[in-house]
A and B are shown apart, each in its own frame.
Chain A
């Protein structure tokens, strides 16, 4: 029992990331009818928003510390972040420590801007082109974006730690009445899951309870009719694209403490997220979320030693296998709607 729960928990963080990216992909696909291969790059850019902010916060100047000496006996030069000068050492250090959560505030405007520019500048011109063209142009864009990041940030992963308060693990099992030390769970993963749940909830609430969301949902169901009603659907779709970009970006920001960001993380997640979207059902938002968590957890189960001993390599391919089986048996995916992307 505890072993099963542990695997479910382990699957949650990846599942959350899949769900968030797949949610954005589905929003874009459902509203704009565009297959966006650059969506993974948005996730990656989000992660690098966190890197950028923590670099900005730690911008330093050199100060000579007379009390200490280096190994040659000269007075030691230490880097002091400008933040220390502004807020004092304690507050400054705390701000730097909280760089990742703070990046959320930084990433939201940046990501929305990137999303809107992308839609207005490029994607807009591809609404009427074949899906193959959409795939290809966004694929090209994804390469460009990741190479730009690689040029400025290098090819190596950049460690971006969580705030000290959330590093380390705790005994989750003991909290809910299992034997102590059976379910040890890192704090940040729980934070990530809660954060993902919050974002997903917010997106759904937004679509469900605002007039804007209503129009978008109607547009997803039948774009032409909504257009006929005289509602300027294009403008709303632009905003939708910005929103989807922000969701992907935030997923990236918060993921940085789990895996140090590198320039190709977007592509790694993208392929799997597409699989998630397909499994969930093209154009179905609940499907995307459900499939995201399901596949994340499934992947975590497949990584259990007992399972790997039984079927070697299953952890590497489980998601693809499930996708292939689902596509062949339920072509519309778990919760796909009729008429969306039928052949």
Chain B
């Protein structure tokens, strides 16, 4: 069995967001890049499954679509414990293009389980996993909050209205995971960091993709309004403000 984790290279969640080129491009100056938090949880769970599989899961790989500057993120995934990495040498323009690039790179690699985070923490598109499954012509399971490996097969837990369900899925399939598959992401050990240096990181040249969307304008959310203090004796004013300004009543 082989597991592949799709990794997004995203700005650290504490990054101060700025735009350039008349608000048509994200300013990457001084940005600290990290593994997309959902993908990091997916990797953590995949490694746990591999370690508990008595050798049945022989490999955990990672893949990312991005320029060379995104390689430290893949190296970190290797340091955390992935066995090898693939970088598709292309700018990740939109979900469709990324899914196309991923599908082209892995279609003949024979992965049994492909895991994608439910969304990336930067653009929140929540589309790559489903599109990837479609391009590969395999099944996908969404809203996955748990993955187990028993009797040679994968069972996934899905969040549904009012509860959850367990699904035994035929391989190969794409699991689109949300929080819950692992509680905290694994921190790379010193040994892992040293080993990451010599683990394979293969660069695959970009394939032709359809350019369906482009960014025309970015807008920052409005600044938070100042906090208004209301005298606890003056309930009338509080109700009035909630009604006319906050518009929650």
Is the pairing of A and B real? Answer: no
Residues of B whose CB lies within 8 Å of any CB of A are none
Residues of A whose CB lies within 8 Å of any CB of B are none
